[in-house]
Each structure stands twice: as C-alpha cells, then as structure tokens.
Structure 1
C-alpha cells in the first residue's frame, strides 16, 4: 500500500471512520464483459440449513461480482455505488483478501473458473503494485503471502509458493525488530509493532514449514509468536492491537478489534497442526470465548468501524474461527456463526436476490458500502457453508 494515502483512507487508525455457473458469473462480472451477469434469486430455506448455508455463500459471491466487479485493470471497485474517488487509491491488502475469497469459492464448488479468478486477482495485485510483490507495509505482505499459499495448495502452483516464500523472507529480513523482537508494522516506523503484522507472519511461517520442511520458517514463526504472546496477549486470551505507536511504550488498549482475536486463534491452530499439542486449541478457545463475550452485540459483532480497512476485520475473525472448528468443537462459536449470518441475510438480503452488506448486520445496509465490508460477508458465509462439509 502506498505511503501517500488520502487521510480518509489511510491504513487502520485513520481508516476506521472509512456451482460452476456461479463461478462463471463471478469471472464474467469482474472481467471485461459488457453485459451484466444474471442475478442469483433464490429463497433461503430455513428448514434446510445445509442448503441454506451453501446458497448464501453463492449469493454473497455472485453479489460481490455484480455490485463490485469492474473491467481490468481495476477488477474490483472499492465502493458500491461506484465512486471514482474510492477507486483512486490501490488497496493492496483488500485485493489479497479477494484472492482468499476466490479460493473459498473453489473449495465449495470445485469449479476451475474460481481458481482462474484467484489467479487473475493475484496477477492484477502485482501489476497494480508496480509489477512488484513488495510494499512498505509488513501486514499487507503477510496477507498476500497467506493468499498465495492457499492458491499454491489449491492449484498446485509452484510460482505462488515461490512468491509466498519471497514475501516471508522479505518480511523477516526488513521487518523483524532487533529491539526486543516482533515484526514491525511498516518500513520507516520501526518502533511500532502490532498484531496485524505478526499474526499473518506466524500463520504463514507454520504453513511454509509444513509445506517445505525448512526449519527457518518455523523458527521465525515461533519467535514472532513468543514476542506477540509476551507483549499483546492478555491472560484471559484477549489480544491487544499494538505497542509503542506514539513512541511511549503504551499498548493501544482502546483498539479492540475482531481481527486481532481471529489472528491469534489462527496462530494457535497452526501451532497445534505443527506440533500436535492440544493446549494450543485451549488457548484459542479462550480467545474465542472472550471475543464472543466482549465484541458482540446480541447475535452479531459490534462493528469495528465504518467501512474502510475496518470493514475487513470481522471477516478475518470468521476465517480463522473456521480453521479452529476444523480441529475442535465450540458450541457457542458454531451458534454464533449461524446467528450472525442469519442476521446478515434477514437484514441485508435485497429484493433483487443479491446481498449488499453493511458493517452492522443487525440493521439494513447503508446506501453506500465498501469492498472491505462486502468481503467480510463473503468470508463469513463461506465459513458457515464449510461447517457442513466433511
């Protein structure tokens, strides 16, 4: 992400105010096709939760294409309705999560067109980033590395794996702090370290270790996790955002965000998968418990913000909550995924058969919404659908 970002869209603190046929529809809508894709208009049958969950995920994916799709090289508009000012900056990390969302669709549909879409988004991200993998934000590059690892695994693409390795090496070489450890947030701001930079690095490190067998990735991941736990993870499992942002040694305890909790859950799951110690799942469960107790409002999350970067935060929690549920049971979490996605569709499913999501799923969607917020709805509905797959 460029360092020169308009104030209303600058990262984080300033942004907080801001089946095969379906896959073909998604590809056509987000590519250079001239005619709009067909709408997915279907009832959501409450008596058949498995079918309902899959249908909702399909609707969310098709709605992403219909309402945010753009001709190349934009590929995805950053707001709905379309706003040229919103499209002006390049959101590197939003595009990385769009790759993840396309892989989510492939895992549900097994349609090759969904992997083609993920590849198109990957190539577009690099192209729009000046034909370069790297930028100045270490969390951005961590998200891209994670998306590339999933794409490499799904498509058997060695080049995606090579790019993920290059990103992880780059983050370690330039982002590891020699003053107390931890990955810093961005180049030029080496005093500030946070959960969003360390979380993706830890998760990617474990996955790279298991894929390649190389010890360096596991050593790095565990060094980062140790710093993270020592510094930002509370005894009750709540995960703080960052430290020393203002060069005062203070922890940002007021920034209580869903994605910080989701990243720690994901890191604990990866430690369990690597080493087999179930205590890591117990730690993850503590963080899930405190998240549901403190960050929800009835059946839904309290919004992390109003679109912008914050629109993606809850989606990241859902993604790693789904990873936890692939390894262990958690009744309250399973129920929350159901109740929250129920609320999303009860309040924001449109009369034309599409979904345009807002940040607050307990209310109708606002007139304007961001791509980040829509991606969270896609990610959550895909996690809900995945709970019925064996």
Structure 2
C-alpha cells in the first residue's frame, strides 16, 4: 500500500468508532429528529472584497448543511451523495472538527444557532461514541479536547464548566495512558505503544498550553513542553519540515514519505501557543520556517497539492489553514496571507455551484468531483473562515 493511501484509510481499516452496545441503544432511543433548517444566502457574491470573504465562508457552511446535514442521531453524513456504507463507522475526530467549524461560524456571525449547533455536535459525539468521552486514539481525543476548550470559551457558553472539565479529563487521560516511558512522546493508539507521531503530539501540545493559561496549573505546561521537546528532537527538520511519525513498523524509521499539510499546521500551531505562553519571538520564527517550507514544497500553483482523495486526508489541509490563521493573528507573513487569498479564490472559481452553496473537492484547481467526503468539505469551511477573519483585519 503506498504511504499516502495508508494514511487516508488507516482509521477506516481499523474500523474506528463502531458504536458500543450502549451507544447503539442510546441512538435507537433518541429516534429521528427533523433536519436542521438550511442556511439561506444570496447566490451572487458581494462586490466589496471585504464582504466577499465572509460571504464565501457562509456559502461553504451552507454547503455543509445542504449536502451533509442529517437528522439526529447521524447529524452529519460522511459522504455526498449519501452512502450508507460511509455512514456506518463513527468518525470521532471528524466530528471534533465539525464542532470547531461550527464555532468558526458562531464567531463570525454571532448567531446563537451556530453556537447551539456546536453544543449539539458535542453531545452527539459522546453519544455516538457509546456515551463515552474516551476512545482508543490519542490524536482523536486531543482534537476533541481542543474543540471543548473553544466551546468553554465561546460567547454564550459562560457557566458551562463541563466543557473545560471534559477537556481536562481528556488531557489527563492522554498523558496517563499515552505518554511513552521509552524515550518520551505521545503514542498514536492504545495497544500500539511503539508508534509515535505528529498527529498525537501536536494537539496535546496545543491543548496543554491553552489549559495552562485557562487554569494556571503548571502540570499542563510541563506536559506540553515535554511533548514538544520530544517532537522537535525527533520529527522536525532544521528546515522546518515536519514528518508524520516514527517506528510505525517497529524498525525505528521515520515516515519521511508521508509529507502532509496537517503535520506542518500542527507544528505552526504549537509554536504559536508556546509564544503566547512564554513570549519568545524565536517561536514565531520557527513557525515561519515551517510556513515557508510548506508553501515551497506542498503547493501546486495557487493551491495545496491534495494530500489524498477524501477520507482522513480530506481534513489535512484544513488543519494547516486553522493554525496558519493563528499565526497571522500574532505576526505578519505576506506570502502566507496571499496564499490563503489565492487558494480560496481558486476554490470558488472552480467549485462554486452558483446557487449559494459550494461542494468541495480535494483539488481546488479542478471542478469538484461528483462525490466527496465530509472531511473535504470541513477543510473548505476552515479555509474560508480563516480568509473571512483576515478580511476583517
């Protein structure tokens, strides 16, 4: 199996997230609920570029509702057109990113319905996970912790301490069960303690800094810095390029062939959080190196070369965009700002349907394919939400 294909299908192959018997019973008890009302938006873009960027974000969110929205307890179909086989497994980490994407919309619009949607997705994630917070993948739980931290801070969520409490429970669980006693680093999966990777350590570092600042507790910062030290010593090149993982096949080898945008995005995000905690500008300089090498080596003209064909890989570029936006909140990088603009321009030039919705493909330089995955649509939403924030700056 080629490396890229392996990365795309690894969770599917491992049958991630089939609901437990308890979860299945809860899903049955919930029964179907009406589909959420569709977002309505003008089919014509505004002439003012400052208004065009938030319009685009709303168009992609409208596509998310129109093409992937489902009655409870599914809430989100995993493919369009709807495919029962695609909907059968439960994608824990896709749903965590769906919460983040709903929060992006809430921050842009101020509409309580978007925040309600994020809360609904949170409840649904644990419900469909067998009414459990934890699963077997440490990166998955890190993504949910990050979404919960944002939810805890969201306007209108004041007084809901359970989101922060659950984020703490997840971080403690990852540390207690996932920190390697053999050389350090967070491992990827329970029962596979030889394999450590960027996807597991990145969210853990970012969440650790945010938890430290939210609670003042030193343990979160100490853990984050221990993980970051292992990560930088093992998987981050002097050029700034970030590799995916090490020792996957128990041979000590680094997966240098797995050159994915999300690894770069995670390291950028970790450097930004270290800067926000410690104030060292060298951290932003390290992030800038990773941005530079990503734009030089992972792009195809004005867009990213696709990391794969849907599946897990559909989400990879969205993670880069999210943390690129966090970097630009702290520092200037004209080439990165231009890339976000030109790539989302290409997305709309090639894949906008002309009816107030967009259905995204993985290759933004080409028309959208006839079928696509929720992961791919979430990436388009993340990117256009970042572009909307930049347009306001």
Is 1:170 the counterpart of 2:173 in the alignment? Answer: yes
SS at the partner of 1:11?
A: helix
Is 1:208 the counterpart of 2:215 in the alignment? Answer: no
Equivalent residue number for residue 153 of structure 2: 153
Query: Quick one: distance in 2 between partners of 1:148 and 1:387?
Result: 24
Equivalent residue number for residue 117 of structure 1: 117
Q: Is the 8 A contact 1:39 1:354 kept in 2?
A: no
1:112 Cα deviation after fit:
1.1
Equivalent residue number for residue 198 of structure 2: 195
1:110 Cα deviation after fit:
1.1
Equivalent residue number for residue 187 of structure 2: 184
What's the CA shift string for 1:273-318, capped at 9, x where partnerless?
0000100000000000000000000000000000000000000000
Equivalent residue number for residue 359 of structure 1: 362
Query: Quick one: distance in 1 between partners of 2:53 and 2:112?
Result: 21
Query: Quick one: distance in 2 between partners of 1:71 and 1:36?
Result: 11
1:49 Cα deviation after fit:
1.7
Query: Quick one: distance in 2 between partners of 1:334 and 1:60?
Result: 20
Equivalent residue number for residue 242 of structure 2: 239
| Cα distance, 1:300–1:34 mapped onto 2, change above 3 Å | closer
SS at the partner of 1:387?
A: helix
Equivalent residue number for residue 88 of structure 2: 88
Q: Is the 8 A contact 1:272 1:280 kept in 2?
A: yes
Is 1:369 the counterpart of 2:372 in the alignment? Answer: yes
| Cα distance, 1:356–1:236 mapped onto 2, change above 3 Å | same
Matched ranges for 1:1-390 at <5 A: 9-11=9-11, 32-33=33-34, 37=38, 39-45=40-46, 47-154=47-154, 155-156=157-158, 157-390=160-393
SS at the partner of 1:209?
A: helix
Equivalent residue number for residue 20 of structure 2: none
Q: Is the 8 A contact 1:78 1:86 kept in 2?
A: yes
SS at the partner of 1:185?
A: strand
Query: Quick one: distance in 1 between partners of 2:138 and 2:36?
Result: 39
Unpaired runs of 5+ residues, structure 1, are 1-6, 16-30
Q: Is the 8 A contact 1:139 1:197 kept in 2?
A: yes
SS at the partner of 2:391?
A: coil
SS at the partner of 2:196?
A: strand
1:33 Cα deviation after fit:
2.9
Query: Quick one: distance in 2 between partners of 1:168 and 1:372?
Result: 24
Query: Quick one: distance in 2 between partners of 1:110 and 1:34?
Result: 22
Query: Quick one: distance in 2 between partners of 1:173 and 1:162?
Result: 16
What's the CA shift string for 1:59-102, capped at 9, x where partnerless?
11111011100000000000001000000000000000000001
Equivalent residue number for residue 25 of structure 2: none
Unpaired runs of 5+ residues, structure 2, are 1-6, 16-31
Query: Quick one: distance in 2 between partners of 1:113 and 1:319?
Result: 22
Query: Quick one: distance in 1 between partners of 2:300 and 2:39?
Result: 35
Equivalent residue number for residue 28 of structure 1: none
Q: Is the 8 A contact 1:39 1:352 kept in 2?
A: no
Query: Quick one: distance in 1 between partners of 2:256 and 2:225?
Result: 24
Instruction: Pick which of 151-160 and 167-176 moved more.
Output: 151-160
Query: Paired residues, what number?
Result: 368
SS at the partner of 1:193?
A: strand
Query: Quick one: distance in 1 between partners of 2:352 and 2:48?
Result: 18
Please provide the CA RMSD for this pair. Answer: 1.7
| Cα distance, 1:8–1:281 mapped onto 2, change above 3 Å | closer
Q: Is the 8 A contact 1:57 1:385 kept in 2?
A: yes
